[in-house]
Amino acid sequence: MRLFLSLSRSSCLCEGVELTSQVLKDKLQVVEERRAKEFNQHQIRTKTNSDRIILALPNSPLQYPIHGFTVAPMKKSLIPGLALHAGKREQYKVSLSVQKGVLSVNNDLEEAKVEGQDQTKLTISSTHLKSLNHQLNRVVYTSTVYNIRTSDMVHFSFEEYNAIFPITISRPSVPLLYDPGEDINSLVTIATKTFLRYAELKVLISSIRQFYPDIKIIIADDSLKPENVSGKNIEHYIMPPAQGWFAGRNLAISQVTSKYFLWVDDDYVFHDKTRIERFVEIMEAVPELDVLGGDVDGNQFYFSLTYDEGDEDEGGCMRRIHNKAHSPLPGFDGCFLVDGVVNFFLARTDAVRRVGFDPFLKRVAHTEFFIDGLGALMVATCNGLSVGHQRRNWISLYSKYRYLNDEKGKLAHHFFKNHLKCIKY
């Protein structure tokens, strides 16, 4: 009887841009070959045997752990919960086998026979069920190949009964904690990226200081001719010219030392409804949240993403659905769980750093961060968390760079990087 449930992945239905059309035709074949190789390596890094679906057989006399058994690599670990529940037999015999480690048991009973000590297959037999279970309670697993993120499958059998259960092999992670300090200034850093808009930036800083005179402000600046920006608790980082928005985001966030950062554009303006404390109150109450968005002049832009992995050759299909939430955020009226928010949000510093901002995307990019964070970031949006937007007065040089957008190149980037067949914004 089969214990693994095989789920084949079929081609997904495209609703948007077919991304192969965005790759140069004379380079498509070699790009697809490189993509296939990188995707295979991605699966090796991220997939484990425990990703497969295992079916439990009905009325099995075998008892074993079905979930949650984790061991450190190359360390001896007792397998919990092993037992046999069977009627009267003249002899009882069970076997266990693994692929990435060895099994052993301290054979301290004359009534039990053990074969295969420190091997991949271990057999225990006895004429007494109690003695057999005594030995099963002492079976030890040791992985023999060092890997910090993998799994093994244990095959456990008795007569015609066969069971399979996973062992997760991983190194325990060290906690990464941020001291919240005693006030909002220790808990939150304000971060922004600027390019050629020093007049707007000064208005932003002035408005921040009206409400938060001591909070740290970090500015990443890739202007063509940088100007001096100084002031109390302001860090101004100069970049090479025109490196782009996401490169600047990475730089700014890399310098944050607080638990949270509030991301703002350089042409926003704080007002009496811009209350960072309310952001923090919600984030502290819901530790699972990573990003919490508000609104900009009443524009509470948010969206959900649908993603079908598709088959392994063609890739997946992605679609962005505007103003669609997954569900309300329990306990907070006017708050909803989504996949992406407006460019005004409070975020957990360590969570965003794990995802990062792709510096390939220089000019128009926002959704792309949330695409990269899909499945890694818990995102919400709330009514009443607001910031103002200064009236646009873009200089011609800024506009020239602002709309210098390689849409075709960006879509070709999605094709390779995100292993997508098509995308619809």
Phi then psi dihedrals of residue 320, to 5 deg: -100, 130
For residue 160 the two structure tokens come to: 């015609």
Beta bridge partners of 322: 303
pLDDT value for 269: 98
For residue 69 the two structure tokens come to: 């058994």
pLDDT value for 371: 96
What angle do the packed helices 28-46 and 407-417 form, to 10 degrees? 50
DSSP 8-state secondary structure symbol assigned to residue 263: E
SS3 of residue 212 by DSSP = coil
**pLDDT tier for residue 243 given thresholds of 50, 70 and 90:** very high
E strands of 144-185, at which residues?
149-158, 161-170
Q: What are the residue ranges of helices labelled H in 168-274?
A: 184-187, 198-211, 245-254
For residue 366 the two structure tokens come to: 């926002």
**pLDDT tier for residue 97 given thresholds of 50, 70 and 90:** very high
pTM comes to 0.86
pLDDT > 50? residue 1 = no
Q: Report the candidate in 406, 399, 351, 410 with the shortest Cα–Cα distance to residue 375.
A: 351
Q: Report the candidate in 71, 92, 89, 88 with the shortest Cα–Cα distance to residue 80.
A: 71
For residue 90 the two structure tokens come to: 């003249």
pLDDT tens across 341-373, in order?
999 999 999 999 999 999 988 877 789 999 999
| Structural domains in the chain plus CATH codes | 73-170 (2.60.40), 184-424 (3.90.550.10)
Mean pLDDT over the full length of the chain: 91
pLDDT value for 3: 55
Q: 395 or 292, which is more confident? A: 292
Question: Scanning the structure block, which residue is given the tokens 């409804």?
Answer: 273
CA–CA dist 344, 204 (Å, integer): 13
pLDDT tens across 156-168, in order?
999 999 999 999 9
